[in-house]
Amino acid sequence: MAKNYRAELTGVFGDPVDDNPTGVVEEAAFSAKGLNYRYLTIRVLPEDLEDAMKSVRIFGMKGINLTMPHKVKVLPYLDELSEAAKIIGAVNTVINKNGRLYGENTDGKGFVAALKASGTELSGKKITILGAGGAARAIAAECALNGASDIVIINRNKERGQELAQLICHKTKCAGSYLEWKSQVQIPRGTEILINATSAGFSPNIKDKPDIDYSSITENICVCDVVFNPAETVFLTKAAKQGAKIVNGLGMLVRQAALNFTLWTGEEAPLAIMEEALKKEFQ
């Protein structure tokens, strides 16, 4: 049989993108599975996105991740969207299905997978989300699609927070509401899952934490953080002191990468190897 020297291509388009660690994780998985795939970290300027998306077809790439500032702007260049991507209005993963580009959003799916792996189910749960940016939107939509009954959005910017609460109400079966973020805001009674989906605490600002009343966190709340660098944030440490169960942001990141791996290769992802590769990056 003739040898095949041609690698299958995947990667990420973003600007800035140099510090995006996903390539390390995907390459570790390709190598572990003996797949001749590559993950390219490519800086694409906003004005070049249309041409870059054409190149996905021209190069026959298996797919691509999109990060800042392309997650919303990419929509006109796609042929089809997943249910979650339609609700969120943003895409972080594209799969090239024989020239048709399918947009998915695995941010929220990665979060849900990490939560379930920690032993917490979503069905019928009351959730409070801090933040209303891209990560919060993806998580809220996926939690609603997975059967959460109520989602309260707490966000500093009122318009953005209200818009997300309305999105949940109008586009899913879950109830959504907005709570104004006052200093030392109380976590609503009855909250079963609390998620920090803000960037507060992300390196280098590792001493920052969301301005909430930490004494309102009770031991029966599962408390999650999207911040993955550092993995043990001040937010999680303070929640753990209240006796809460905690879930850090690394699980979401690695499970999202694992989902992308499967969408592009059709193979089960080597999760333990991907986790190991990610941990090494943040040592």
Does the annotation mark 54 as catalytic? Answer: no
**Residue 17 or residue 200: which is nearer to ligand NDP going by CB?**
200
Amino acid at 24: V
Largest CA distance in the chain: 68
What is the footprint of ligand NDP within residues 198-217 (CB under 6 A)? 198-200, 202, 208, 210
Q: What torsion do the CA atoms of 86, 90, 93, 96 make, to the nearest 10 degrees?
A: 60
Binding of ligand NDP by 14 (CB under 6 A): no
Sequence-distant (≥ 6) Cβ neighbours of residue 229 within 8 angstroms: 202, 203, 249, 282
Annotated binding-site residue? 134: yes
CA-to-CA distance for 142 and 148, rounded, in angstroms?
Answer: 9
Q: How many residues sit close enough to ligand NDP to count as binding (CB under 6 A)?
A: 25
Annotated binding-site residue? 191: no
Annotated binding-site residue? 265: no
Sequence-distant (≥ 6) Cβ neighbours of residue 44 within 8 angstroms: 13, 14, 15, 17, 52, 70
Residue of 115, 136, 131 whose CA lies nearest to 210: 131
Instruction: Determine which residue in the list 160, 175, 177, 216 makes contact with ligand NDP, applying CB under 6 A.
Output: 160
Distances (CA, A) of 229 to 106, 129, 178, 182, 203: 19, 19, 28, 26, 6
Binding of ligand NDP by 259 (CB under 6 A): no
Contact 232, 224 (CB under 8 A): no
Contacting range for ligand NDP; rule: CB under 6 A; set: 28-36, 58-66, 78-86, 151-159 = 151-159
Annotated binding-site residue? 190: no
Site string for ligand NDP, 213-252 (x = CB under 6 A): -------------xxx--------------------x--x
Tell me which residues are annotated as active site.
71
Residues annotated within a binding site for shikimate: 67, 92, 107, 256
Residues binding ligand NDP (CB under 6 A): 107, 110, 131-136, 155-157, 160, 198-200, 202, 208, 210, 226-228, 249, 252-253, 256
